[in-house]
Structure 1
């Protein structure tokens, strides 16, 4: 079980660093135990943002510490390119996925990156110009479902069909918003196993959120103090965030409770959902 956490905003830097170190040690053991518990494949949602990077880094390092004969279960890394992403972020993510594939092979790890895209009939311009849809707005966010949710869900369903079930590892955190915290708390009440929540939209898939109790300070401290295992620069990631609105990255979207991220650098350049 996740221990009760202190308000990390009031902690000094050395105390916060020690707290994060203890969390990492605990999460490493937890990830290893969950990974080795069964043969259910894992799917990690990766957006290139800080939260998904932190989660992937945690899982990568935890599995890398296992003996070779125990790290055979596939871990799929999925990232959805809407085809209207900020070009800088799109390039960043694609380069990261390429490095993951190379590093996984070199380190003999079971990570398999999968760049995803919406189908042609779901693409932004086909819907906006071809079908005459109005520009997306808060009460009609047709873009979120077609550009982000459908590609991810299609991949997850294919894995479920092939393996019977799957575990979806996400970087969702309660500190993102009150709505997100409420949604996560609601799902936590229905947990069938410790730390694994049911996925309301996809049967036979469970959600694991390792850093659900982390705040921004903990995420950044981890990324800045622990080296990226697939060779991408976390310091460059920090630079990308400079000037972006606070905490508005685009995570892997699997439901419509995820807020729009068009007002940040992590978002679609055509986004009309900016406040």
Structure 2
């Protein structure tokens, strides 16, 4: 346990949850509080660790508190969970991976009841399965499909497993009121429902409580604590400072000594594919601040390609279920087209090859997309979307120079090769809509051919014909306008932008569509 010395540069006293006391006394009382809460019951703890400054400090505080207890009092497990979205900034992902490895080794060597878990999203929920496979458009504020799948579901699944095994769990999080006004407001709201000292109810997960030990600290105080004490599992806090510094656009991350000095707390790491922000400032800064990070440039270029204001030309004018929806006289576009999805896959594999070629030794085997995801994407294309050309193996071989190690699909093979599809295109005489319609019907036929029961076969055929009955988008638009004019005679149509899910995917949340 670190000595409770005065934290320099913050004055003799400060307001804390324990009253007006010196920062050094605050640290001592905080460690004593952690020890007291830990010993109060047998409810296991789950620490959310991202590798950033806040979660690092929280994990270190719990570690120091446990190390200060007699071995016989370390009676329950503390789980440290880190969620890897599989599209994390590679520099940060490598940092977190090394930290987790060090944590496992140090916990075992120091005989601490700390277990480390790296969590990942299910393959069907991964970013690339959704975007390239299903064709989900890049995330936007009104179509934020990524956070739930990539971050929340993996961690919640683990927490629920702990609750199922022990009846309850305490989540230890590095959330702070100083992060934002919204965060402070949310934390204040949860405080009102506290059932035990310093433990707030979790509104999303039954039988779980939230403990936020550093909720009252400022950005500056977090950094000063990290810089004053060594990391207990041997991972350098100074290197963490350097990582934040490299991600700051102005290349500044000073050791703060007063309230007028800006900290680097604004440097924020996350998914390199994120289009929820106008630009990825941290990735851009990493490239600008260090020539050795130029290998990250293909990621930035691909991320910027995904983030375009108007991507209607890349998306089908129909929804995923084939329906047509109007908003202010325009069709609400659905998923990415086959051409766009194939292009995103090519770009991604190309970026992966470039990074492996140009990057440092530790990224020579970096996978931007896993083989499991590629298989899932191929299944979506061929089996679900009836794109029976089965182009993924060819794209993979062209971009990587390697044979795609995938099995044949659809009862021993798709049954059509490139020559067959060329003949079909020739028969359709350039009518793309007709070509796609016949192809989809062939896909339905092959799907039902080996089924034990053919229930739903005629419904599937009818739905496919209906989806592909338009010659082009203008034809579909005329039909939709005429249809809605007829409907207007029966009810008043709301002029609000549609936000509901496609009928074909009942698992989508109510915020997962946009025009």
Which structure ranks higher in relative contact order (CA pairs < 8 Å, sequence separation ≥ 6)?
Answer: 1
Residue of structure 1 in register with 2:234 after alignment: 231
Residue of structure 2 in register with 1:153 after alignment: 156
User: Does structure 1 residue 266 correspond to structure 2 residue 269?
Assistant: yes
- Using structure 1 for the length normalisation, give the TM-score: 0.87
- Using structure 2 for the length normalisation, give the TM-score: 0.47
Paired residues in the alignment total 250
The C-alpha deviation readout for 1:92-147, integer Å capped at 9, x for no partner, is 11110110110000000000000000000110000011111110112222111100
The C-alpha deviation readout for 1:182-210, integer Å capped at 9, x for no partner, is 11000000000110000000000000000
Return structure 1 stretches of 4+ with deviation > 6 angstroms. Answer: none
Residue of structure 1 in register with 2:119 after alignment: 116
Contact 1:55 1:210 (C-alpha < 8 Å) held by counterparts: yes
Residue of structure 1 in register with 2:43 after alignment: 40
Q: How does 1:194-233 map to 2 (within 5 A)?
A: 194-233=197-236
Residue of structure 1 in register with 2:368 after alignment: none
2:165 is paired with a residue of what secondary structure?
helix
1:93 counterpart (76, 92, 96): 96
Gaps of 5+ in 1: 1-7, 247-262
Contact 1:16 1:218 (C-alpha < 8 Å) held by counterparts: no
Mapped partners of 1:33, 1:141: distance in 2: 40
1:177 counterpart (168, 177, 180): 180
Mapped partners of 2:167, 2:80: distance in 1: 18
Q: What is the CA distance between 1:265 and its match in structure 2? A: 5.2
Q: What is the CA distance between 1:270 and its match in structure 2? A: 0.8
Mapped partners of 1:118, 1:92: distance in 2: 20
Residue of structure 2 in register with 1:52 after alignment: 55
Q: CA RMSD in A?
A: 1.9
Q: What is the CA distance between 1:72 and its match in structure 2? A: 2.3
2:103 is paired with a residue of what secondary structure?
helix
User: Does structure 1 residue 105 correspond to structure 2 residue 74?
Assistant: no
Distance 1:12 1:229, change over 3 A: closer
Mapped partners of 1:245, 1:176: distance in 2: 17
Distance 1:137 1:65, change over 3 A: same
1:141 counterpart (133, 138, 144): 144
Mapped partners of 1:177, 1:30: distance in 2: 25
Gaps of 5+ in 2: 1-6, 15-20, 250-265, 279-515
Q: What is the CA distance between 1:19 and its match in structure 2? A: 3.6
